[in-house]
Every structure is written in structure tokens, then in C-alpha cells.
Amino acid sequence: MTKIKLGTSNLQTGKISLGCMRMDKLSKNEAAKVIHSSMEAGIDLFDHADIYGGGESERVFAGAVDLKSGVRDKMVIQSKCGIRKGSFDFSKEHILTSVEGSLNRLNTDYIDILLLHRPDSLMEPEEIAEAFTKLKQSGKVRHFGVSNQNPMQVELLKKYIKEDLIINQLQFSLLHTPMIDAGFNVNMKNDSSIVHDSNILEYSRLNDMTIQAWSPFQHGMIEGAFVGNKDFPEVNKKLQEIAAEKGVTDSAIAIAWILRHPATIQPVIGSMNPTRIQDISKAVDVKLTRQEWYELYLAAGNKLP
């Protein structure tokens, strides 16, 4: 799999990453197969969070692979912190405690990338800066980023944080496109013209932040997958049509649609099925034409002005 560069860092990873939120449901052997199949397909960035499975997803991951062996150098391990039951918490104490917990569960000496999971309105960026500096100097975290944050939230953090923020993880799929809708509908009064996120796509490109697309197969936030869903006949018909022409699965086409965007967006797939992971990974070799990209966008129910 062709590598991409993450933000301003020197990290090179596959174009697709694996989200490990559901790994807590797997046995050690099942998890090992998922990890092996992913790496075999060129997927080497593994996305975690301290809350996934109540921490069990990180533990299962570590139990399935010996991170004290040479395989650790072939992986990019990313985790997130900041969500608590009924609140968000970007305090220095919580960040440091969360990282220690993740390191212990993952059985590793360092995390390649730490993301702040969801915006905390009560955040004090000076505290975050202190936490990041301590984690960086101790070698426990090598790179930093955010998740679900708008440009001004990022700018506020950057005022105090010395380290580059290389990632912003945002929801994006064929059925969730507010990131690009407003860009088509400039100076108009329809719903699609509403800027929901302060032009985060353009901001990220201007500031060399890699966007990671979470839930790339979902419609809504947690409503479920649209691929193969009879409630979305037009987009599935078009996905299947193009998939047949390209010799891949419809899920691979849904990912190829994201990869086609010149912003170099990295999809975070959440499948725990080794065969499906292998099939989806073929998206990196699919070259969608401009016409095919727009046909899919329209088939998903979007309209152009």
C-alpha cells in the first residue's frame, strides 16, 4: 500500500487506518488475525481510545501481538483521550492519567500519536500544553493531534502548544458530507450552504493537518452503515455498478471515493473481519474519475447548485 505523510511529521503510514473500537469483542486469536490481515494489506496505523470497550480494546490488541518485539516499529499506534462519563476533560491531570492507562493496557513504552477526543469547552490550553510537553519530553507520546475540532479551537490550542498538531479526526463519508457541501453552495440560502465547521477541510489543507475520516461507511452519526442498506438504493446501485467495473467490493468504492479527494484524507475503517479488511484495502488501487466521484456524490442524495 502506498504510504502517506501524516501532517508535518515524519510519520509515513498506509492510506487507510484501522479503528480498534470493536476489538474488545474479539478473542486473542481473532484479534491477532485482524491485526495480521491489516498489516498484510498495508494498514499499519491502529486507532484506539481510552474509552473503547472501557479500555478493553487496547488490552485485547496488546494481548494479540507482542509489542515488545520488532513488530512495534512497523506499527503506528494512535490513541485518544478526553471523554469521561457525562463530560469531556482536557485537564492536565486527566490527559496524563489517560496516557498512563493506555500505555499499560497496550503494553508499550510510547504512543505514536495522541489525539484529544472531543472538544472540552472548559479546556485551559495552558494545561494541555504542559501535559503535552511532559509527555513529549518523557518519550511517552511522540506526536499530537485532535479529533472533532473546528479551526478556531485548533488555533487556540496552537497558541500555547509547542508541538505540531498533525491530525484532526472528523466524520466523513458519502452519506455525511457537510465538510464539502458548503464549498459547493457558496453565497446561497439553501441548507447545504450552511458552514457547519468553519471550513475545516480548507483549514486543514492550508495548515498541513491530515484529516482522518471516521465512520466512513456510516449515515448519520451512529445510525448504521449505508453500504448494502436497502434504505439507500440509489447510492448502493451506483456503488455496485462502479465496483463491478473496477473488480472490487462496493465498500472499497466507498473508501476510494474518500481517497480520491486531493486533501489526502485517511479513512479509519472499523471492520473486525479479516476478509473484509483485505477487500476494503484494495480501494487504494482504485482510480475514480472525476465523473465517477461526482456521480457517487449525487447518488448519495446530494445536489449541486
28 in a domain, yes or no?
yes
294 in a domain, yes or no?
no
193 in a domain, yes or no?
yes
How many distinct structural domains can be found in the chain? 1
User: Rounded mean pLDDT of the chain?
Assistant: 96
282 in a domain, yes or no?
no
Q: Are 226 and 217 in contact (CB under 8 A)?
A: yes
276 in a domain, yes or no?
no
**CA–CA dist 86, 147 (Å, integer):** 18
286 in a domain, yes or no?
no
User: Could you tell me the CA-to-CA distances from 19 to 131, 226, 267 in Å, in that order?
Assistant: 25, 18, 9
Joined grid coordinates for residue 20: 480498534
Write down the catalytic residue from 52, 110, 160, 294.
52
Whole-number pLDDT of residue 223: 80
pTM given for the model: 0.96
CATH number of residue 120's parent domain: 3.20.20.100
Whole-number pLDDT of residue 66: 86
Pairing of strands 3-5, 12-14: antiparallel
Is 52 noted as a catalytic residue in this protein?
Answer: yes
Tens of pLDDT along 42-64? 999 999 999 999 999 999 999 99
**CA–CA dist 97, 63 (Å, integer):** 21
User: Could you tell me the CA-to-CA distances from 27 to 57, 60, 111 in Å, in that order?
Assistant: 11, 7, 23
Tens of pLDDT along 74-102? 999 999 999 999 999 999 999 999 999 99
51 in a domain, yes or no?
yes
Whole-number pLDDT of residue 220: 82
Q: What is the DSSP-derived secondary structure letter of residue 71?
A: G
Q: Are 103 and 109 in contact (CB under 8 A)?
A: yes
Whole-number pLDDT of residue 305: 95
Whole-number pLDDT of residue 221: 78
Range of the structural domain that residue 190 is part of: 3-228+265-270
26 in a domain, yes or no?
yes
**DSSP-assigned beta bridge partners for residue 81:** 116
| Segments of the chain scoring below 50 in pLDDT | none
Q: What is the DSSP-derived secondary structure letter of residue 108?
A: -
How would you class 186 by CB atoms within 10 Å of its CB: exposed for 0-12, middle for 13-18, buried for 19 or more? Answer: exposed
